């Protein structure tokens, strides 16, 4: 097959969706003899993909509104011009209108956040999910999502037949592993101005990530651990006012450090050096940071809602993300109980090995082969 692989935003700092798109593409190419043709919206190629794969630009589609509209004509033209059998969209944004019968179409839908927590997201995303996405999903030949919980939500809110949705969990690359204390780890910490010991949170800064409540839980604990820092890694996204207001109210009496975006190459050291990783998100279609933390041997506390229990299994403490007292108590429990922390490390390492990009790639490719 000639598989058109739609890329979007990969010339910007990649977060969870960008990392999923990159790793899945590489794994699909490594596990098959199919031809991959990149349909690119980016101005540059920081990941070296253009040297590895045939690629063609989608002019003027760098911004999402243009891709959602003009992109429909350009994808139609690309499918014919480049003799594509399949168009795969790892961002869940392809229009797909007018492509029925011409080429097989697949898209990845990571979650249903616009239906479950719409107040935590911007207007464009909410409109995209409620107006554009139902049309695109019904015209796709196959839909991929990352968890049973996301599968359930997509069936419920988009009224899709369950059999049209395949579950393809995320994974982590071999780079996510425990980094021992030494020169490599110390160099990364120095680069970001981080002083151990610290509790770590990783993820884009938005209301859905529940960072404001994490700040409150840490501030309640900090007097008992005067040397302990809270380090938050991630770039601002949307609905950050409550986070900043909480930070300003607490900054005089707690050690809190926002380091912004961290390069993928630095994340394993940041996870490995942390006393504890906390991910109290209100909703996730999968949740890649907890899997990364497990692969690095970091004890984890995460939410008992949405897909997160599926990801971590018995390798984390689960808490109600709306319960501040429960979150505070769980953090104290792991910090005080070395035996518990060690059990979580061991279980996390074992759990992370269950998720592989090779299996994800095989599931996607098998789905397209069946469509053809």
Residues 343 and 198 in one domain: yes
In a domain, 176, yes or no: no
In sequence order, which ranges of 171-221 are alpha helices (DSSP H)?
A: 183-192, 211-221
Q: Comparing C-alpha atoms, which of 341, 334, 329, 344 is closest to residue 221? A: 329
In a domain, 81, yes or no: yes
Q: If 0-12 CB within 10 Å is exposed, 13-18 middle and 19+ buried, where does residue 325 land?
A: exposed
In a domain, 178, yes or no: no
Residues 86 and 224 in one domain: no
In a domain, 279, yes or no: yes
In a domain, 150, yes or no: yes
Residues 327 and 196 in one domain: yes
From first to last of its 372 residues, the chain has per-residue pLDDT tens of: 999 999 988 988 777 888 999 999 999 999 999 999 999 999 999 999 999 999 999 988 888 888 877 887 888 889 999 999 999 998 887 766 656 567 898 999 998 877 887 776 677 777 777 777 888 888 889 999 999 999 999 999 988 899 999 999 999 999 999 999 999 999 999 999 999 999 999 998 988 899 999 999 999 999 999 999 999 999 888 778 889 999 999 988 889 999 999 999 999 999 999 999 999 999 999 999 999 999 999 999 999 999 999 999 999 999 999 999 999 999 999 999 999 999 999 999 999 999 999 999 999 999 999 988
Which SS3 state, helix, strand or coil, does residue 50 take?
Answer: helix
In a domain, 339, yes or no: yes
Residues 33 and 91 in one domain: yes
Residues 104 and 226 in one domain: no
Give the CATH number, domain containing residue 250.
3.40.50.2000
pLDDT at 156: 92
φ and ψ of 199, to 5 deg: -95, 140
Residues 148 and 229 in one domain: no
Residue linked to tokens 């920081």: 46
User: Are 231 and 199 a contacting pair, CB within 8 Å?
Assistant: yes
User: What residue numbers bound the domain in which 13 lies?
Assistant: 2-171+356-371
Residues 362 and 323 in one domain: no
| pTM score of the predicted model | 0.92
In a domain, 215, yes or no: yes
Residues 233 and 105 in one domain: no
Residues 7 and 126 in one domain: yes
In a domain, 177, yes or no: no
Residues 243 and 138 in one domain: no
pLDDT at 241: 85
Residues 282 and 151 in one domain: no
How many domains is the chain partitioned into structurally? 2
What CA–CA distance (Å, rounded) separates 51 from 45? 9
Beta bridge partners of 88: 5, 106
Residues 334 and 251 in one domain: yes
């Amino acid at each position: 097959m000639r598989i058109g692989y739609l890329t979007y935003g990969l010339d910007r700092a990649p977060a969870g969706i960008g990392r999923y798109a990159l790793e899945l593409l590489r794994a699909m190419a490594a596990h098959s003899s199919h031809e991959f043709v990149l349909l690119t919206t980016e101005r540059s190629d920081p990941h070296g993909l253009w040297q590895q794969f045939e690629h063609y630009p989608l002019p003027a589609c760098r911004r999402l509104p243009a891709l959602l509209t003009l992109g429909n004509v350009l994808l139609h033209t690309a499918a014919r011009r480049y003799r594509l059998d399949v168009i795969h969209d790892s961002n869940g944004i392809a229009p797909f209108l007018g492509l029925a019968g011409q080429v097989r179409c697949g898209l990845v839908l990571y979650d249903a956040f616009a239906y479950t927590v719409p107040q935590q997201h911007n207007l464009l995303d909410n409109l995209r999910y409620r107006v554009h996405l139902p049309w695109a999903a019904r015209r796709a030949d196959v839909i991929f999502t990352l968890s049973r919980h996301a599968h359930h939500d997509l069936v419920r809110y988009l009224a899709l037949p369950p059999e049209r949705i395949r579950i393809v969990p995320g994974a982590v690359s071999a780079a996510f592993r425990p980094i021992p204390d030494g020169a490599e780890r110390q160099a990364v910490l120095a680069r970001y101005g981080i002083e151990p010991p610290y509790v770590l949170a990783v993820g884009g800064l938005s209301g859905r990530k529940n960072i404001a409540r994490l700040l409150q839980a840490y501030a309640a604990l900090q007097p008992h651990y005067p040397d302990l820092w809270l380090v938050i890694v991630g770039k601002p996204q949307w609905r950050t006012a409550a986070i900043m207001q909480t930070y300003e109210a607490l900054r005089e009496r707690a050690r809190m450090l926002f380091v912004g975006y961290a390069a993928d190459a630095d994340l394993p050291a940041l996870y490995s050096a942390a006393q504890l990783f906390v991910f109290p998100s209100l909703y996730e279609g999968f949740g890649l940071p907890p899997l990364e933390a497990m692969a690095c041997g970091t004890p984890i506390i995460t939410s008992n809602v949405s897909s997160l229990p599926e990801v971590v299994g018995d390798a984390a403490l689960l808490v109600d993300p709306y319960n501040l007292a429960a979150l505070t108590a769980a953090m104290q429990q792991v910090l005080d109980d070395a035996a518990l922390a060690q059990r979580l490390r061991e279980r996390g390492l074992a759990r992370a090995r269950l998720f592989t990009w090779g299996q994800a790639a095989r599931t996607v490719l098998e789905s397209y082969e069946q469509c053809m």
